[in-house]
């Protein structure tokens, strides 16, 4: 079970800022949240050490790198045995086509975000990961036509933190 970390108002302000721009200079962040630069750096180190901040990443616009086909795939398993679902999760984590994999409720067991260069690449992914896994009962693919709302750092705020 996840152990929750107690955060104060300054921690929430810091997290909201680094979610928008984790390269903002500490002096600018300090001025914005009302702390000293050293206090900001100390708190950010603590938040990373405690696993609250798990990664510092760059959000890349895939359209500017290479053309991609994005698919959402609903996967239904024929078993809920942990060893089989864990094996499926591990296979998805190791698959380069998988951008995200969610364990979901309802008729579907997993929701995948798959990114490929071509339908032939998607077909190869399906052959390798879906049709050979005897515990996958069915899967349904939805091709993304266009992204309507995407990650926007300016909108990245913590729940309940405005």
Which of 19, 147, 126 has the alpha carbon at shortest distance from 73?
Answer: 126
> 151 phi and psi, to 5 degrees?
-60, 130
d(CA 103, CA 86): 11
pLDDT by residue, tens only, the chain of 162 residues: 678 889 999 999 999 999 888 899 999 999 999 999 999 999 999 999 999 999 888 877 777 877 789 999 999 999 999 999 999 999 999 999 999 999 999 999 999 999 999 999 999 999 999 999 999 999 999 999 988 877 666 565 544 443
């Amino acid at each position: 079970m996840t152990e929750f970390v107690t955060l104060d108002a300054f921690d929430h302000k810091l997290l909201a800022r680094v979610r928008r721009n984790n390269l903002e200079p500490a002096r600018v962040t300090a001025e914005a949240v009302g702390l000293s630069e050293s206090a900001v750096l100390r708190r950010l180190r603590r938040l990373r050490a405690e696993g609250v901040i798990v990664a510092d990443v760059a959000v890349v616009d895939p359209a500017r790198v290479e053309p991609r086909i994005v698919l959402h795939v609903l996967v239904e398993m024929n078993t809920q045995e942990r060893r089989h679902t864990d094996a499926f999760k591990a296979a998805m984590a190791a698959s380069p086509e998988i951008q995200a994999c969610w364990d979901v409720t309802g008729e579907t067991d997993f929701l995948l975000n798959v990114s490929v260069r071509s339908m032939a690449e998607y077909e190869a992914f399906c052959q390798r990961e879906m049709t050979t896994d005897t515990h996958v009962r069915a899967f349904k693919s939805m091709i993304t036509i266009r992204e309507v709302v995407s990650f926007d750092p300016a909108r990245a705020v913590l729940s309940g933190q405005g």
